[in-house]
């Protein structure tokens, strides 16, 4: 299995990422190859975001905190690479 990260040039992305300092997954989005934590108390899970009246608008407007590059995070997701 390879570590190539491919996303379309256009799109709005939402996902989950785990970090060693949090017990629950973060709600994340990808912008220009960087993964941003957009977890908030009003939307602590991807399900909560998806149940909002305008989930795409929420993800687009969320500022978030950068947590790393998509390639680095994807590479770390393979057990053998850790």
Hey, how many other C-beta atoms are within 10 angstroms of the C-beta on 4? 8
* Residue bearing the bigger pLDDT, 5 or 14: 14
Hey, how many other C-beta atoms are within 10 angstroms of the C-beta on 2? 6
pTM of the predicted model, to two decimals? 0.85
Please compute the mean of the pLDDT values over residues 40-52 and round it to a whole number. Answer: 95
Exposed, middle or buried by CB within 10 Å (0-12, 13-18, 19+), for 15? middle
For 49-79, how does the pLDDT look when each residue is reduced to its tens digit (9 = 90+)? 999 999 999 999 999 999 999 999 988 886 6
What pLDDT is recorded for position 20? 86
For 13-35, how does the pLDDT look when each residue is reduced to its tens digit (9 = 90+)? 999 999 888 899 999 999 999 99
* Residue bearing the bigger pLDDT, 53 or 6: 53
What pLDDT is recorded for position 3? 52
What is the distance between the alpha carbons of residues 42 and 34, in angstroms, rounded to a whole number?
23
| Nearest alpha carbon to residue 15 among 27, 23, 5 | 27
């Amino acid at each position: 299995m390879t570590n190539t990260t491919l996303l379309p040039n256009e799109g709005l992305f939402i996902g989950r990422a785990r970090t060693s300092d949090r017990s629950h997954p973060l709600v994340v989005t990808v912008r220009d190859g960087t993964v941003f934590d957009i977890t908030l108390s009003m939307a602590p899970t991807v399900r909560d975001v998806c149940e909002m009246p305008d989930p795409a608008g929420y993800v687009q407007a969320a500022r978030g905190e950068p947590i790393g590059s998509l390639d680095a995070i994807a590479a770390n997701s393979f057990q053998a690479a850790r």
